[in-house]
């Protein structure tokens, strides 16, 4: 199997991630205390928080909350902020993990929502976000990097404007974490939602939310925390205020190993490898008149969407899978609004997303398979 | 040919109704040729694994790979039951032909 669906979840994982999970399963924490809050070097959960803090550029590991992934992190942020009777700005390149929580609030008449459009290549102009700000704007929520086109929004260009007006900014870095440099403090990010199982090479089911010290959210859930059990209300300490229930320890251990791997390879090297493969794919597909490429290379994307004239994206993906043993993703990629802007709604597109481990030979095999399919 | 199981194929992408069909035996070249009597058949024998696609306009698109016991059918949402019934009847028809050859 040639796996080119890493934008959904990465495969394979680095061997160091395998080893870390196996080691955890063979040697789980059996001590009396709950993990994650003591700053001891033997606390694997705390160590992961520290790695994440260093990786994302914050001095506050205690403000990194573990969640089941980006969706839960985004739900925690969106439903946790006090947005009552306020206005929220988001963009057309968002994933449903952002669109649906915000639409729920809009449909419930809790917020007014502005969706800033993107152009026909999937780019959002930060000036359009600035222009959408109203006196009652209570949050700006945006996707750092589209999972359909790979187009990115410059984080600081938004946060500079928002910070000046004291509007909290929530950034979804599901696609970019592990591929593009992200710096919470340098970019003045208030809330950062990430998943662990894509380019951070962790197991599915782990992710997190960074919450800046000046931001207060209502918890999404309350309950057991393993410490301060005498309290009948949720302890206010960070991070347990937001972390009721048993943490996903195998996921956390895998994420720590994944971050180590990314830091060892270097973000620039990882991005360079992926982009080089995408450029090869883009240039070869551009030679085929039957192929419509979605987006362009101007921001050096690490994934590529396309359509084939006269063929359903789902049919093409099915053929690639069943006949050529190549896994890509077809459809709307849970991001319907950007497809409307790209003119690819409702059928969507075919998306190829390599990983650090993908080879040029594998990309050439995909190209040859598409050459056969387009001639049908 | 019998259908052992029909399962939904959930995804976030389109407006069609896609289901995966599990047959009681692998799809043969004879079966694929039989399909051609019931709609527009495309058969790509030159693929690493030969691919077929049968389109019965307004009812369904059936597609799969020769030698496997599964196929995908995309049903017309406006007439799901009718399309499924039409597909099932076609498969029963193949069994009759198959028996006549065997005997």
Domains of chain B from N-terminus onward = 3-91 (3.30.310)
**A346, B46: Cβ pair inside 8 Å?**
no
**B49, A330: Cβ pair inside 8 Å?**
no
Contacts of A323 in chain B (CB under 8 A): 44, 47-51, 65
**Least confident stretch, A30-44, A109-123, A133-147, A303-317:** A30-44
B72–chain A Cβ distance below 8 A for any pair: yes
Give the rounded percent of residues in chain A with a pLDDT score beyond 70.
Answer: 97
Whether residue A320 is predicted with pLDDT greater than 60 in this model: the reply is: yes
CB within 8 Å of A266: residues ≥ 6 apart: none
Min Cα distance B94 → chain A (Å) is 24
Give the Cα separation of A164 and B15 in Å (integer).
43
What is the DSSP code (8-state) at residue A353?
B
B64–chain A Cβ distance below 8 A for any pair: yes
**A61 close to A50: Cβ distance less than 8 angstroms:** yes
Give the Cα separation of B96 and A295 in Å (integer).
52
B10–chain A Cβ distance below 8 A for any pair: no
**Structure confidence at residue B102 as a pLDDT band (50, 70, 90):** very low
Rg from Cα positions in chain B: 13
The mean pLDDT of A69-94, rounded to a whole number, is 98
Of B12, B16, B50, the CB nearest to A332: B12
**A322, B16: Cβ pair inside 8 Å?**
no
**A145 close to A173: Cβ distance less than 8 angstroms:** yes
Contacts of B66 in chain A (CB under 8 A): none
**Least confident stretch, A102-116, A140-154, B32-46, B73-87:** B73-87
- Mean residue pLDDT of chain A comes to 95
Whether residue B103 is predicted with pLDDT greater than 90 in this model: the reply is: no
- The residue ranking higher by pLDDT, B21 or B1, is B21
B48–chain A Cβ distance below 8 A for any pair: yes
CB within 8 Å of A186: residues ≥ 6 apart: A57, A156
Is residue A307 helix, strand or coil? strand
Give the Cα separation of A146 and A95 in Å (integer).
8
**Structure confidence at residue B99 as a pLDDT band (50, 70, 90):** very low
Q: Which tokens in the block code for residue A126? A: 């930060």
The residue among B11, B13, B51 with the most chain A CBs within 10 A of its CB, best to mutate, is: B13
Give the Cα separation of A170 and A159 in Å (integer).
9
Q: Which tokens in the block code for residue A173? A: 């870095």
The residue among A318, A329, A334, A370 with the most chain B CBs within 10 A of its CB, best to mutate, is: A318
Contacts of A332 in chain B (CB under 8 A): 12-14
pLDDT of residue B16: 56
**A202 close to A255: Cβ distance less than 8 angstroms:** yes
What is the per-residue pLDDT across A253-282, written as a single tens digit (0 to 9) for each?
999 999 999 999 999 999 999 999 999 999
B79-88 LR contacts (CB < 8 Å, sep 24+): B80/B17, B83/B56, B83/B59, B84/B6, B86/B56, B86/B59, B86/B60, B87/B59, B87/B60, B87/B62, B88/B3
B79–chain A Cβ distance below 8 A for any pair: no
What is the per-residue pLDDT across A158-178, written as a single tens digit (0 to 9) for each?
999 999 999 999 999 999 999
What is the per-residue pLDDT across B44-98, written as a single tens digit (0 to 9) for each?
998 999 999 999 999 999 999 999 999 999 888 788 889 888 888 887 677 544 4
Give the Cα separation of B83 and B89 in Å (integer).
10
B18–chain A Cβ distance below 8 A for any pair: yes
**Structure confidence at residue A227 as a pLDDT band (50, 70, 90):** confident
Give the Cα separation of B41 and B32 in Å (integer).
8
Whether residue A215 is predicted with pLDDT greater than 90 in this model: the reply is: yes
What is the per-residue pLDDT across A280-294, written as a single tens digit (0 to 9) for each?
999 999 999 999 999
Nearest to A150 by CA among A13, A342, A327, A14: A342
- The residue ranking higher by pLDDT, A21 or B94, is A21
pLDDT of residue B3: 83
pLDDT of residue B100: 43
The residue among A147, A312, A314 with the most chain B CBs within 10 A of its CB, best to mutate, is: A314
pLDDT of residue B76: 84
pTM of the model: 0.91
Nearest CA in chain B to A347: B14
CB within 8 Å of A38: residues ≥ 6 apart: A46
**A331, B14: Cβ pair inside 8 Å?**
yes
pLDDT of residue A129: 98
Nearest CA in chain A to B49: A323
pLDDT of residue B9: 80
pLDDT of residue B96: 43
Query: What sign does the CA torsion over A23, A24, A29, A34 have?
Result: positive
Whether residue B15 is predicted with pLDDT greater than 70 in this model: the reply is: no
Angle between helices A360-374 and A313-324 (to 10 degrees): 120
Q: Which tokens in the block code for residue A318? A: 């099915």
pLDDT of residue B59: 92
pLDDT of residue A33: 61
Nearest to B7 by CA among B89, B80, B73: B73
B88–chain A Cβ distance below 8 A for any pair: no
């Amino acid at each position: 199997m040639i796996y080119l669906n890493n934008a959904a979840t990465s495969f394979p994982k680095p061997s160091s991630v395998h080893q870390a999970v196996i080691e955890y399963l063979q040697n789980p924490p059996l001590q009396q205390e709950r993990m994650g809050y003591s700053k001891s070097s033997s606390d694997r959960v705390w160590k992961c928080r520290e790695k994440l803090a260093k990786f994302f550029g914050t001095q506050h590991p205690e403000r990194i909350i573990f969640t089941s992934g980006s969706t839960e992190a985004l739900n925690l942020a969106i439903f946790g902020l006090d947005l009552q009777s306020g206005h929220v700005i988001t963009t057309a390149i968002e994933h449903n993990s952002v669109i649906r929580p915000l639409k729920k609030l809009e449909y419930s008449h809790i917020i007014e929502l502005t969706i800033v459009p993107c152009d026909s290549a999937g780019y959002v102009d930060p000036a359009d976000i600035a222009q959408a700000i109203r006196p009652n704007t209570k949050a700006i929520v945006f996707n750092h990097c589209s999972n359909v086109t790979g187009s990115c929004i410059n984080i600081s260009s938004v946060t500079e404007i928002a910070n000046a007006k004291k509007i909290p900014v929530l950034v979804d870095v599901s696609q970019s974490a592990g591929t593009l440099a992200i710096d919470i403090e340098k970019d003045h990010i208030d809330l950062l939602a990430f998943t662990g199982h894509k380019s951070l090479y962790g197991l599915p089911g782990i992710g997190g939310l960074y919450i800046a010290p000046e931001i207060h959210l209502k918890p999404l859930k309350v309950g057991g925390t393993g410490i301060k059990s005498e309290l009948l209300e949720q302890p206010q300490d960070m991070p347990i205020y937001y972390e009721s229930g048993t943490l996903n320890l195998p996921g956390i251990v895998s994420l720590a190993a994944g971050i180590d791997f990314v830091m060892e390879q270097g973000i620039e090297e990882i991005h360079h490898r992926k982009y080089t493969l995408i450029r090869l794919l883009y240039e070869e597909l551009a030679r085929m008149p039957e192929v419509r490429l979605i987006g362009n290379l101007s921001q050096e994307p690490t994934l590529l969407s396309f359509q084939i004239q006269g063929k359903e994206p789902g049919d093409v993906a099915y053929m690639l899978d069943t006949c050529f043993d190549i896994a890509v993703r077809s459809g709307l990629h849970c991001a319907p609004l950007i497809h409307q802007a790209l003119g690819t709604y409702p059928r969507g597109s075919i998306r190829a997303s390599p990983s650090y481990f993908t080879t040029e030979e594998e990309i050439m095999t995909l190209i040859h398979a598409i050459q056969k399919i387009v001639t049908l | 040919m019998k259908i052992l199981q029909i399962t939904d194929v959930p995804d976030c992408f389109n407006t069609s109704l896609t289901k995966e069909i599990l047959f009681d035996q692998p799809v043969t070249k004879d079966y694929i040729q039989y399909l051609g009597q019931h709609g527009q058949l495309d058969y790509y024998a030159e693929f690493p694994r030969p691919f077929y696609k049968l389109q019965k306009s307004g009812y369904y698109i059936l597609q799969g790979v020769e030698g496997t016991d599964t196929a995908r059918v995309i049903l017309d949402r406006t007439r799901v039951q009718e399309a499924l019934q039409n597909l099932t009847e076609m498969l029963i028809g193949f069994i009759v032909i198959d028996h006549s050859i065997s005997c």
